[in-house]
Amino acid sequence: MPRTALNSVFSCAWCGRTASAVADDGTRRGHCPSCLQSQHVLDPVEGGSSDCRGRMSPIAVAVPRTGDWMVIHRCVRCDELASSPTRADDNQLVLMRLAVRPLAQPPFPLEAFGDR
């Protein structure tokens, strides 16, 4: 997502949806609410902006102690990881697909459970 003013809209470079840069609850949006893709514009280590501008692809969902869901992104250009909080209007189907991916694609054969 390109940088935008707080009250502006953006067009997602990946799915084409036009969305508000501010979520319904008034907080700043860190990813597209439709496809959950983002753009690598921040450098969390340096605390400033990043020159990478690569696509931040959603790879997982994390739930910290607060109980709020976070989307975990990986930059397809430089492999840096970042997170952004989910918003109420995020695509619930895409969020659930991310959440159940480890169960649907375990790193071992599920048949192993039947032998014990």
Residues with Cβ within 8 Å of 10's Cβ and at least 6 positions away in sequence, in order, are: 1, 2, 4, 18, 19, 21
* Alpha carbons 83 and 73: distance in angstroms, whole number: 6
With tokens 């990946």, the residue in question is 14
At 31-62, the pLDDT tens digits run 999 999 998 876 666 666 667 878 899 999 99
pTM: 0.77
